[in-house]
Amino acid sequence: MPRTDENGRQLKALLDYLLDGEIDSKDLFDALGVSSSTYYRRIKETDYPNAEELRRVADRFDLSYPDLQVQFGLMSRQEVWNYVRAAESDQTGVSTLQPTNLAATTTVAGTRKLADLTPRLDAPPL
């Protein structure tokens, strides 16, 4: 028996309710990124929908991912609040870059010398 929401609805039934109409199974397995045979096998399993499937559905249908997790019992409302509070406190720890003196590293043509360039600390690695 797959997971159901707080009102006993399976994922497709909840989406029909939230999106004010019946969505096709094709829309759902496209959102999940699986074939139709995989979708029909998954909807019978006890761990359907899992967190990743809920994230994909939320992204595709512009729904709240945390709300879907709460609806299907993967997170409690308190856990969501704790996560939000922790994320807010992490925001205060963001470091800022010091301004650089571009005049010292600029050539006559207005471009910077390769030897004088330094990596940006806020940029992700390539």
* Res 15: pLDDT: 94
* Res 98: pLDDT: 52
Q: What is the rounded distance in angstroms from the CA atom of residue 60 to the CA atom of residue 85?
A: 26
**Tokens in use for 70?**
């709460």
Q: What is the rounded distance in angstroms from the CA atom of residue 15 to the CA atom of residue 26?
A: 13
**Tokens in use for 62?**
């512009």
The answer to whether 60 touches 28, Cβ cutoff 8 Å, is no
* Res 105: pLDDT: 47
The answer to whether 83 touches 67, Cβ cutoff 8 Å, is no
Q: Where are the domains of the chain?
A: 11-91
Whose tokens are 């600390």? That residue is 121
Per-residue pLDDT in tens (0 to 9) along the chain, 126 residues: 889 988 999 999 999 999 988 788 899 999 999 999 999 999 999 999 999 999 999 999 999 999 999 999 998 889 888 888 888 877 665 555 455 554 554 555 555 666 777 777 776 666
